[in-house]
């Protein structure tokens, strides 16, 4: 239950202050270079936050639960939080150390209101990120996808943690404008989804077919 509360508090923090993380991989390219704006404090905070959660997560993975309620109220909250912290750590690393993203404006979409200039969202034109930024983002996405696979293959089919990362990858694909980053995220999201569904298929569908198969 403590894990659930922590997840909820951190989720509210991110939703209320999305600019703090510069929308992560959304819209491609480093959008704020927050290292020069004190973003390194947030970066250090989130990476230090990972260690105690990782210790708890590793410890509770060494024990086998006697019934489903122990899994729901002990394993699932820390699994969610462990994956969530990982995603936030990757996003803050990206937002802190990547350069500012070039931004241009479409003059035709800018409207004058009461002698003030109102810039609509449609007026903002984000230039494509450089090759180095693309490589860094793809590496970050690959790291998250490999972690999701490890949740399934190493940590006794931890579907909860893998689902958090899969949801993040689908979000990057949905919001991303850069072609390379967008479709890399989509492919990795599909791979992660396959690994999430694999233990379910093996445990419930194929096992049931074997049990109901006629004995020759």
* Entry pTM: 0.67
pLDDT tens, the chain, 216 aa long: 344 334 434 433 433 333 333 444 544 444 444 445 556 677 777 767 777 777 777 777 777 777 777 778 878 888 888 899 889 888 888 777 776 655 555 555 444 444 444 445 555 555 667 788 889 899 999 999 999 998 888 766 788 899 999 999 999 999 888 899 999 999 999 999 998 988 777 777 766 554 554 554
- CA quadruple 86, 89, 94, 97: dihedral sign: negative
Domain count, the chain: 1
Residue 60: helix, strand or coil by DSSP?
Answer: helix
Domain that holds residue 83: 2-212
C-alpha torsion 48→50→52→54, nearest 10: -150
In angstroms, rounded to a whole number, what is the distance separating the alpha carbons of residues 60 and 106? 53
Cα angle, residue 173 at apex, residues 16 and 5 outer, rounded to 5°: 35
């Amino acid at each position: 239950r403590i894990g659930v509360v922590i997840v909820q508090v951190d989720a509210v923090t991110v939703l209320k202050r999305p600019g703090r993380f510069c929308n992560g991989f959304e819209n491609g390219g480093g959008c704020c270079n927050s290292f020069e704006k004190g973003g390194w404090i947030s970066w250090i905070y989130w990476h230090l936050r990972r260690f105690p959660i990782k210790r708890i997560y590793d410890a509770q993975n060494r024990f086998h639960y006697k019934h489903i309620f122990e899994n729901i109220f002990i394993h699932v909250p820390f699994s969610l939080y462990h994956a969530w912290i990982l995603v936030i750590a990757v996003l803050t690393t990206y937002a802190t150390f990547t350069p500012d993203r070039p931004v241009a404006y479409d003059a035709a979409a800018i409207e004058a209101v009461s002698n003030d200039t109102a810039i609509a969202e449609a007026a903002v034109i984000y230039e494509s990120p450089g090759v180095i930024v693309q490589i860094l983002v793809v590496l970050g996405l690959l790291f998250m996808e490999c972690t999701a696979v490890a949740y399934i293959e190493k940590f006794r089919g931890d579907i909860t943690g893998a689902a958090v990362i899969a949801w993040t990858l689908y979000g990057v694909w949905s919001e991303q404008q850069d072609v390379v980053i967008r479709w890399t995220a989509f492919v990795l999201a599909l791979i992660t989804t396959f690994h999430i569904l694999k233990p379910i298929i093996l445990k419930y569908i194929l096992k049931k077919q074997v049990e109901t198969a006629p004995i020759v």
